[in-house]
A and B are shown apart, each in its own frame.
Chain A
């Protein structure tokens, strides 16, 4: 059974600090997605990583993919309150479906 595991599940961090969210998956895949969900809102696509070694950056967020290690990371640089949300990674196992991780709930405090 394909598993997608994120850690940590909960992350409380101070503004200005750096941290990394990890996404491990159990099958081969060349495509990985990161989504953001604000409380009470829908899922919004953040990054699409299509190959081994892919790195994408948007503002204070940077995502990377290592397909050999079956690992993706979402790095947060100098966190600000606006980044508070739940972040999901999702793996495309070469089928029509996406397999979502459990989500990481991020809270940034002053």
Chain B
């Protein structure tokens, strides 16, 4: 199993530009989570999907952030327009259907975003 795949691994952009982060969950996993990690705020859950449907987006900081999951093997997190305070590491995680095992989340390698 390839694990959760994220791209790009690093992104440097200028303020005001659109940024798109991509995630491929582990095959067969029903849940996908987007997190943001910073030194100041720690690990924050932004949004999660169940069977491609957004369930809880209460962690999305503002309307500049949007996420989609068009199919079971692909999700995007978009920031438009980006701001320097969006600089962080963004993680994608997935897990199988609740009740089929340990329910642990498996994290991707992350995308380190720097907004200048």
Contact = CB atoms under 8 A, between A and B. Distances in A.
Interface of A: 31, 33, 35, 41-45, 48, 50, 88, 90, 92, 96-98, 100, 102-103
Contact of A92 (B33, B93, B103, B109): B103
A103 B104 contact: no
> Is chain A's binding surface mostly helix, strand, loop or mixed?
strand
A52 B33 CA distance: 27
Given A31-B102, A33-B104, 12 more contacts: A33-B105, A35-B107, A41-B109, A42-B109, A42-B110, A43-B107, A44-B107, A88-B43, A96-B31, A96-B56, A98-B105, A100-B42
Contacts of B110: 41-42
B42 A97 contact: no
A96 B98 contact: yes
Contacts of A100: 42-43
A7 to B, nearest CB: 15
A41 B105 CA distance: 16
B13 interface: no
Q: Which of A42, A43, A44, A103 has the most CB of B within 10 A?
A: A42
Contacts of B33: 97
A42 B43 CA distance: 11
Nearest to A33: B104
Contact of B102 (A35, A48, A103): A48
A41 B48 CA distance: 21
B25 interface: no
B45 interface: yes
A42 B107 contact: yes
Contacts of B93: 43
